[in-house]
Each structure stands twice: as structure tokens, then as C-alpha cells.
Amino acid sequence: MGYPITIDEFKTFFAKDFDYGTEITQVSDVDISKAMVEAGMNFNEKLFDCVEEKKIIFSYLTAYYLVVDINNANTQGASNNGGLVTYRQVRNVAESFKVPNWVSENPMLSQFAQNGYGLKYITMIYPYLIGNMGVVPGATLP
């Protein structure tokens, strides 16, 4: 599969989101390339007709995998949670959120709720998953 974006396009699109560079603590081109390969495994480009939409949606899927890879590297592959976080508290500060049931109960989509890039990816791809429609020209016989 040819990817709909390049590494440079990814960096431009997410210019403020990641610290790019060659230091061990920075996101490298190799890291982005790895995330693009991973994203390519779950990306169905045939769902999208518009090249620009395809690029944006693939960018968010790549960012999702990049963050997962960064988190795995930072924890040396150890799980840092037991699934989707819906409530967290530290002393007197607490946060909670609810992932919609159509996401949390879907074995494929629920994995993307692990970070903000995955959640945004879900909101972008969902309309394409509920049914594609098109018009086919034709005629009936008398």
C-alpha cells in the first residue's frame, strides 16, 4: 500500500503536537514511519473518495499509533492501565469521561479510545462505517 501522506506532511500537519528531532526523547522519522506502517494495517483507503479526507484521517490514525508506541517505549512495554480510563483521581483532583457505548462496546473501535488522536480518528471515520451510498445510473424496461 502506498501511504496517502509522507513523513514531512505528517510533521507539517502535527507541527505543534510532537517534539521532532534525533534525540532519544524526540520523535524521529523512524518513529513516524513505524506508526505509518501500523496505521496502514488498519486503514481502508477504499472508504474515501476525497484525497484530502484520506490524508487527514490517515494522519490521525498514524498519530494514534505514534502515541501508543511512545507510551509503550516510556513504560518499556508494561501496561500503564487496565483498559479505557473513565475515572481518575489524585488527592482532591478527579477527572472522568464517558466513551460512547457504540465505541466502548465495539471490539475494533474501542482500542482507538486510548488517546485523543484515536478518538478524533473514530469521529472522522464513523460516518463512513454506517453505510456508504451512491447513485448508479440505470433504466427500467417497460
Q: Which residue has the cell 522519522?
A: 29
Query: With 80 as the cut, is the pLDDT of residue 41 above it?
Result: yes
> Residues 50-91: pLDDT tens digits?
999 999 999 999 999 999 999 988 887 655 554 555 666 777
The confidence band for 34, taking pLDDT boundaries of 50, 70 and 90, is very high
DSSP structural state of residue 21: S
Domain boundaries, the chain: 7-129
Query: With 90 as the cut, is the pLDDT of residue 132 above it?
Result: no
**Distance of alpha carbon 24 from alpha carbon 109, whole angstroms:** 31
**Distance of alpha carbon 114 from alpha carbon 53, whole angstroms:** 23
The confidence band for 133, taking pLDDT boundaries of 50, 70 and 90, is low
Query: Residue 117's closest CA among 84, 68, 71?
Result: 68
